[in-house]
């Protein structure tokens, strides 16, 4: 079903107008190449979450087209969009969103069970070792630290080997040091496993870990910064907020 050689994510002139008339995205076009780490930054209300929701097939644009792994998801009905998401997209959220009653390993393998797939034992072992949870597989999420919970959520996002992982403010609930560890892990996973990653954040320091930072303001991409720096992005965001 996917198109060989297709980019991980493509948006073509995507507009999202919410009921009530707020134009959260205004003709946004972008391409996320495979194995890239892209950050989406912007002031509060710029449209970052809306962009992620539309790009990941969690919401439908008012107009424009969205392709994930070469498959157009914007035009699919809810059942097919869910199917494409399960097969091709992974998610990491600020609040981890682990199931409290399931063990760590059950949480990590949940996307496979939902997709009706059997775990690849070797990949699962590689992943849990890489995120540092091999000794915690029988624990419940409530028995883990915040950083460990986010590591479990990261393993869960990668377990299906998705075409793209979307991370929405993945370090916002963590202390500075743990946040840096988690960002370092995400960065490393892109390099080691060729995992395409799109991270939404308001934090210039977090965005500076990406290969490319897309700066969003009032529903439009106003800048695409390669090899971004925290200082440069902070200045750009301060300028936008002053406008
Ligand atoms: N479900 C909704 N219904 C109506 N308006 C919405 C809805 N969700 C978001 N909006 C509006 O769309 C605009 C963009 O919101 P969005 O949450 O995408 O921005 P954001 O950049 O993620 O902001 P933040 O950093 O504060 O989370 C805002 O004006 C917001 O009020």
The pLDDT tens digits for 34-43 are 999 999 999 9
Residue 135 lies in a domain: yes
What's the CATH code of the domain at 106? 3.40.50.300
- Mutate which of 20, 23, 24, 206 for ligand 1 pocket (most atoms within 8 A of beta carbon): 24
Confidence (pLDDT) at 157:
96
pTM, whole model, 2 decimals? 0.94
Over the stretch 163-179, which tens digit does the pLDDT of each residue have? 999 999 999 999 999 99
pLDDT at 1 over 60: no
Domain span at residue 40 reads: 9-242
- Mutate which of 19, 42, 46 for ligand 1 pocket (most atoms within 8 A of beta carbon): 46
Total domain count, the chain:
1
Q: How remote is the CA of residue 49 from the centroid of ligand 1, in Å?
A: 7
Q: From the alpha carbon of 20, which atom of ligand 1 is closest?
A: 4
Q: Which residues in 195-204 are b (16+ Cβ under 10 Å) and which e?
A: bbbbbbbbbb
| Closest by Cα among 114, 116, 134 to 125 | 134
| Measured distance CA(143)–CA(225) in Å, rounded | 40
H-run or E-run covering 168: strand 164-168
Residue 1 lies in a domain: no
Cα 206 vs. chain centroid, distance in angstroms?
Answer: 13
Q: In what order do the strands lie in the sheet with 63-68?
A: 23-32, 9-17, 63-68, 71-72
Confidence (pLDDT) at 111:
94
Q: Looking at ligand 1, which residue's alpha carbon is closest to its atom 5?
A: 18
- Mutate which of 16, 17, 23, 49 for ligand 1 pocket (most atoms within 8 A of beta carbon): 49
Residue 232 lies in a domain: yes
Q: How remote is the CA of residue 229 from the centroid of ligand 1, in Å?
A: 26
pLDDT band at 84 (very low <50, low <70, confident <90, very high): confident
pLDDT at 121 over 80: yes
Encoding tokens for residue 242? 């002053």
Residue 4 lies in a domain: no
Residue 171 lies in a domain: yes
pLDDT at 3 over 70: no
Encoding tokens for residue 175? 């202390």
Residue 3 lies in a domain: no
Residue 2 lies in a domain: no
Residue 154 lies in a domain: yes
| Measured distance CA(54)–CA(58) in Å, rounded | 6
Q: Looking at ligand 1, which residue's alpha carbon is closest to its atom 29?
A: 45
Q: From the alpha carbon of 219, which atom of ligand 1 is closest?
A: 14
| Closest by Cα among 6, 182, 11, 175 to 92 | 182
């Amino acid at each position: 079903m996917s198109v060989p050689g297709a980019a991980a994510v493509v948006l073509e002139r995507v507009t999202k107008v919410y009921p009530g008339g707020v134009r959260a995205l205004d003709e946004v076009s972008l391409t996320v190449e495979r194995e890239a780490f892209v950050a989406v930054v912007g002031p509060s209300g710029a449209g970052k979450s809306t962009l992620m929701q539309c790009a990941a097939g969690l919401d439908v644009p008012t107009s424009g087209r969205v392709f994930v792994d070469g498959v157009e998801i914007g035009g699919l009905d809810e059942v097919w969009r869910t199917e494409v998401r399960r097969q091709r997209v992974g998610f990491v959220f600020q609040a981890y969103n682990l199931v409290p009653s399931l063990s760590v390993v059950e949480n990590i393998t949940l996307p496979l069970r939902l997709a009706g797939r059997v775990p690849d034992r070797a990949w699962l072992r590689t992943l849990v070792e890489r995120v540092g949870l091999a000794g915690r597989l029988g624990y419940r999420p409530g028995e883990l630290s915040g950083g460990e919970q986010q590591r479990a959520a990261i393993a869960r996002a990668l377990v299906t080997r998705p075409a793209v992982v979307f991370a929405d403010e993945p370090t916002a609930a963590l202390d500075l040091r743990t946040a840096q560890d988690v960002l370092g892990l995400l960065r490393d996973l892109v390099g080691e496993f060729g995992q395409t990653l799109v991270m939404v954040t308001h934090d210039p320091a977090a965005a500076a870990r990406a290969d490319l930072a897309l700066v969003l303001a009032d529903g439009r991409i106003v800048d695409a910064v390669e090899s971004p720096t925290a200082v440069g992005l902070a200045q750009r965001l301060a300028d936008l907020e002053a406008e």
